[in-house]
Chain A
């Protein structure tokens, strides 16, 4: 794995990689299938299933401890342009990791980045936010509104 040039360590790349990882596979696949002119890519590292040890903190804020592992699938691909893309996604879906890696590579090239952002990244981000908001609004409906009954004497 070559070292990435500085512009690719930007917060922007962190954002799209995170969106790709947190997306539902069904959403990602259908948006990917609708993308015209898909590039050719080679697998630099074929999809591989492994684990990441999830760490917590004592009391939520203190020193770290090992909570338990989660399954993660990773994949690295290269485009003809020379751009190298990585996918790291929770779970064991190899196709998810590979599509994420190809999109990560595409997003680094100047040619397609805007189109891919518009047709894949942004819609995934919106769908994720919508899902979160629905869950959060269900939770908010269970918020207790205390009231005090005033008594005389």
Chain B
């Protein structure tokens, strides 16, 4: 039961001012600009765009500032903003094979064509706090090579494809509608397109834990990071009034191709199976987690026994969205005064009944004792 209660206006107003005051912090310290957040906290911006499901680095930076650095709150702000905009249409599918590579590694082939390109990565840092950063020194430009990265780097899956050792992922429907969970609610069993859309905007922490759970034996599928690539690519869109596609901008994406242990059938000899992860920006942990969970959710397709949470699509898809999850958990803070009063009455009644019953039993016992 929900009852509107008046009052608290002044308290709420002052709470908002207090929040803004805390956001600004010590006034002797210069205020952060949106540009500073966009340029100097790029991975926070990327995460907010990915989970906020809206590519716009300036807006994501603004959201991070407004949310006092609370990433999930920033995701919420971006999601709310996107509902205010019209949609012009959908892009042509992006071609990750044509990516301008900034990072590309494979854990399955040392000498893959195009090579291992480490790019900007935490992988080789020692995870020791660097106190020189606290001293505000200027950072030198990164070293450059004489030659740029070679164009058209083959995907690692294409290499295995030549031998037929990996399942093919080819389109069989180029004209049909693409399911969109922002337009129609998800029903089960869900198709892979809906699952991937859900995972792409899903909470990184949730997917990381689920991916980890598959590695620890809860739905294990023996993964290898076949390839991880990150870089820029153009987005093409065909405006109705033009009738031909044009590039409308460039975005950064991270892609993970997980290669998993074999499946075969009477018709198909054993071959590696695949899990796929794709995110906006540089969200490598998220892309890897997504690929693990994508593969786990394909259990039914490969007639695997569904025993673990990561394989249960209702469990995963219903709990992956941190805006929904956060809303439902945090709604517990809203006034539940009347509900709680009702519970109080019930618990008092129960206690009274129990006390009365015990009193009656005691009286019976006394009478029995007296009779003996």
Q: Which residues of A contact B (CB under 8 A)?
A: 1, 3-4, 9, 14, 17-18, 21-22, 48-72, 74, 76, 86, 88-92, 132-144, 146
Flag whether B282 is at the interface (Cβ < 8 A): no
Report the separation of the CA atoms of residues A92 and B14 in the bound assembly, to the nearest whole angstrom.
33
Q: How far is the CA of A71 from the CA of B63 in the complex (A)?
A: 15
Cβ contact within 8 Å between A52 and B102: no
Question: Within the assembled complex, what's the spacing in Å between the Cα atoms of A86 and B82?
Answer: 24
Q: What is the CA–CA distance of A72 and B193 in the complex, to the nearest angstrom? A: 24
Q: Interface of B with A (CB < 8 Å)?
A: 49-50, 53-56, 58-59, 82, 85-94, 96-97, 100-103, 110-111, 115-120, 142-149, 155, 157, 169-174, 178-182, 192-194, 196-197, 200-201, 231-232, 234-235, 237, 239-251, 253, 255, 257, 274, 276, 278, 280
| CA distance in complex: A78, B276 (Å) | 45
Contact between A69 and B193 (Cβ–Cβ < 8 Å)?
no
Contact call B94/A56, Cβ cutoff below 8 A: yes
> What residue of chain A has the Cβ atom nearest to residue B180's Cβ?
A66
Nearest-neighbour CB distance to chain B for A53, whole angstroms, equals 4
Is the Cβ of B246 less than 8 Å from the Cβ of A88? yes
Complex interface: chain A residues within 8 A of B142 (CB):
138, 141
CA distance A135 to B274 in the complex (A): 30
Give, as a whole number of angstroms, the nearest-CB distance from B109 to chain A: 11
Q: Which of B100, B235, B276 contacts A58 (CB 8 A)?
A: B276
A64 to B194, CA, bound (A): 10
Selected contact of B246 from candidates A17, A132, A143, CB within 8 Å? A17
Given A69-B55, A86-B239, A142-B118, the answer on whether A58 and B193 have CB atoms closer than 8 Å is: yes
**Are B56's CB and A92's CB within 8 A?**
yes
Question: In the complex, how many angstroms separate the beta carbon of A6 from the nearest chain B beta carbon?
Answer: 10
Name 6 A/B residue pairs within 8 A (Cβ), A-sorted.
A50-B88, A52-B91, A61-B169, A71-B55, A86-B242, A137-B148
List residues of chain A with CB within 8 A of the CB of B111.
146
Q: Please, which residue of chain B has its CB at the minimum distance from the CB of A145?
A: B115
Assuming A139-B101, A144-B115, is B93 touching A64 (CB within 8 A)? yes
Let me know if B56 and A71 touch, CB within 8 A.
yes
Given A22-B247, A51-B88, A67-B178 contact (CB < 8 Å): no
- Residues of chain A with a CB closer than 8 A to B245's CB: 14
Chain B minimum-CB-distance residue to A19: B247
Contact assessment for B193 and A66 in the assembled complex, using a CB-CB cutoff below 8 Å: yes
Q: Is the CB of A133 within 8 A of B148?
A: yes
| With contact pairs A51-B87, A136-B101, A140-B148 given, residues A91 and B117 touching in the complex (Cβ less than 8 Å) | no
> Contacts A21-B248, A142-B118 hold; do A9 and B241 have CB atoms under 8 A apart?
no
A14 lies within 8 A of B89 (CB) = no
Are B247 and A18 in contact, CB atoms less than 8 angstroms apart? yes
Given contacts A59-B274, A65-B178, A68-B280, 20 further A-B contacts (CB under 8 A): A51-B86, A53-B91, A54-B55, A54-B94, A55-B90, A56-B196, A56-B253, A59-B169, A65-B179, A66-B197, A70-B54, A70-B56, A71-B54, A71-B85, A72-B249, A74-B239, A90-B248, A91-B249, A143-B115, A143-B145
Quick check: B55 and A70 within 8 Å, CB to CB? yes
Tell me if B169 and A58 are in contact (CB < 8 A). Answer: yes
Instruction: Closest B residue to A48 by CB, please name it.
Output: B86
Docked-complex contact B246 and A68, CB < 8 angstroms:
no
A102 CA to B220 CA in the complex, in Å? Answer: 57
Partner of B87, one of A3, A50, A58, A76: A50
Task: Given A59-B257, A60-B276, decide whether A65 and B197 contact each other with a Cβ distance below 8 A.
Answer: yes
What are the 9 A-B residue pairs with the smallest beta carbon separation, nearest first?
A90-B249, A59-B169, A136-B148, A62-B169, A1-B241, A18-B247, A140-B145, A70-B55, A137-B144
Pick from A48, A63, A66: contact of B173, CB below 8 A: A63
* Residues of chain B contacted by A61 (CB below 8 angstroms): 97, 155, 157, 169-171
Question: Which A residues are in CB contact (< 8 Å) with B92?
Answer: 55
